[in-house]
Structure 1
Amino acid sequence: MPEVVVGAVLAAGAGRRYGMPKILAQQGEWLQSAVRALGDGGCDEVVVAMGAATVEPPLGARGLMVPRWSDGLSETVRAVLADVAARPEVAAVVLHVVDVADVDGQVVARILDVADGRRDRLVRARFRGVPGHPVFIGAAHHAGVRDAVRGDVGAAVYLRAHADRVIEVECGDLARGTDQDHRRG
């Protein structure tokens, strides 16, 4: 059975600071961009985690409903990891957020290249020294991440607790990697 890397777009939130669910931002362009980045970058499958708003997933992706999305980002991460938990062929999940529109397939490919499909790896993009997304979480860490996430914080708590195992990969030459929390006027 071939190993599978699942790319996940985290897009279930209401986007309170932004003023609307970011899955809908820019007429869906951010979502299209995130799905394309994961697919072009080498993920075998792409899933879009949604909740506050639901949309037809872009071509090449499937939707994943997050029933408790209002409990925060942790529930979105937990739902993605639960979705792959019963699939022994899943070697890793690559978490990406919908509101980092300038990250493309080159960034994802760089992360996947360093991760080398290893189930024991934790690999995180860094942009000019600042940690960001995407984040490769090998299957050996899925249960630990599920247990560590709380409230509106995703895998960052687990990554900090295992900082000695996280490989940070500079990607600032490819993108800014800045998330869009507020609309530009």
Structure 2
Amino acid sequence: MPVTAGLLLAAGAGRRYGRPKALVELDGVPLVRRGITLLSDGGCRPVHVVLGAGADQMPDLPGAVLVRHDRWFDGLGSSLLKGLASLPAAAPAAVVVLVDQPLLSPIAVRRVRAAYADGAVIAVATYAGRRGHPILLTRRTWPLLNGYAVGDRGARDLLRDRPDLVVEVPCDDVGSPVDVDTPADLPRI
């Protein structure tokens, strides 16, 4: 299977949570470390992590390239663009995940990578027929995101507008896209 980069978006302030979600721990492990492990175990090399709010409080994160994003407050879209721009020129594709989805599986990462190996330009995991993460974006799609990745919008509208580029990859049996938005969400996970 071809090597793909991993991109973990972990720059937000976590306003509804009350602190940056990257720093939140689940079973004693910060969500940011869980995201790095998810991508690494899924076969992504290198793994880049976009940090913003709380960047100075992050634990040691071996196995990842840390990308500081000083304009993190511009939203998810700017973090996505910053992260993609940070990847080495040799990276043909990137698997993108969000820090606040700790139940994603390395198997889902491997499945979207396998879809890429089979020719997908964009591969997106689905759960009960709904698109979620991980999402694999080939380098040729990155320039297209300039018109889409704005504010808190990432690649979703590009996927909607360009169905000809998208391969959906069922992942219902290997994890969940449930996200952690508030402290009340963590116990149910």
Q: Calculate the TM-score normalised by the size of structure 2.
A: 0.88
Name 2:96's counterpart in structure 1: 95
Q: Residue 28 and residue 153 in structure 1: after superposition, are their counterparts in 2 closer, same or farther (change >3 A)?
A: farther
Any idea what SS the aligned residue of 2:173 has?
A: coil
Is 1:81 matched up with 2:80? no
User: Percentage identity across aligned positions?
Assistant: 32
Judging changes above 3 Å, is the alpha-carbon distance between structure 1 residues 94 and 47 closer, same or farther for their aligned structure 2 residues?
A: same
Partner SS for 1:183: coil
Shift of 1:28: 4.8
Tell me the SS of whatever aligns to 2:174: coil
**Alignment root-mean-square deviation, CA:** 1.8
Amino acid at match of 2:146: R
Q: Look up the equivalent residue of 1:99 and give its one-letter code.
A: D
In 2, the alpha carbon distance for the partners of 1:75 and 1:88 equals 19
In the aligned structure 2, how far is the partner of 1:49 from the partner of 1:109? 21
SS of residue matched to 1:59: coil
Q: How far apart are the structure 1 equivalents of 2:105 and 2:140?
A: 26
Residues 131-170 of structure 1: per-residue CA shift (max 9 Å, x gap): 1111000011011113321111111121111123211111
Residues 137 and 163 (structure 1 numbering): CA distance in 2 closer, same or farther, change over 3 Å? same
Contact 2:14-2:20 at 8 Å conserved across structures: yes
Q: Distance in 1 between matches of 2:165 and 2:140?
A: 12
2:64 is aligned, of 48, 57, 61, to: 61
Correspondence for 1:124: 124
Cα shift at 1:19: 1.7
| Number of the residue aligned with 1:19 | 18
Number of residue pairs aligned between Structure 1 and Structure 2: 180
- Say if 1:33 and 1:104, in contact at 8 Å, map to a contact too: no
Residue 139 of structure 2 corresponds to residue 136 of structure 1 = no
Supply the AA of the counterpart residue of 2:16: R
Q: Which digits, 9 at most, give the CA deviation of each residue in 1:101-120, with x for residues without a partner?
A: 011211111111111185x6
Work out the CA distance in 1 between the residues paired with 2:52 and 2:163.
30
Tell me if structure 1 keeps the 8 A contact 2:7–2:84: no
> Structure 1: where are the runs of 5+ without partners?
none
Residue of 69, 73, 84 corresponding to 1:70: 73
Q: Residue 96 of structure 1 aligns to which amino acid in structure 2?
A: V
> What is the TM-score normalised by the length of structure 1?
0.90
Residue 90 of structure 1: SS of its match in structure 2? coil
Answer whether contact 2:126 2:170 (CA < 8 A) is retained.
yes
Q: Distance in 1 between matches of 2:101 and 2:94?
A: 18
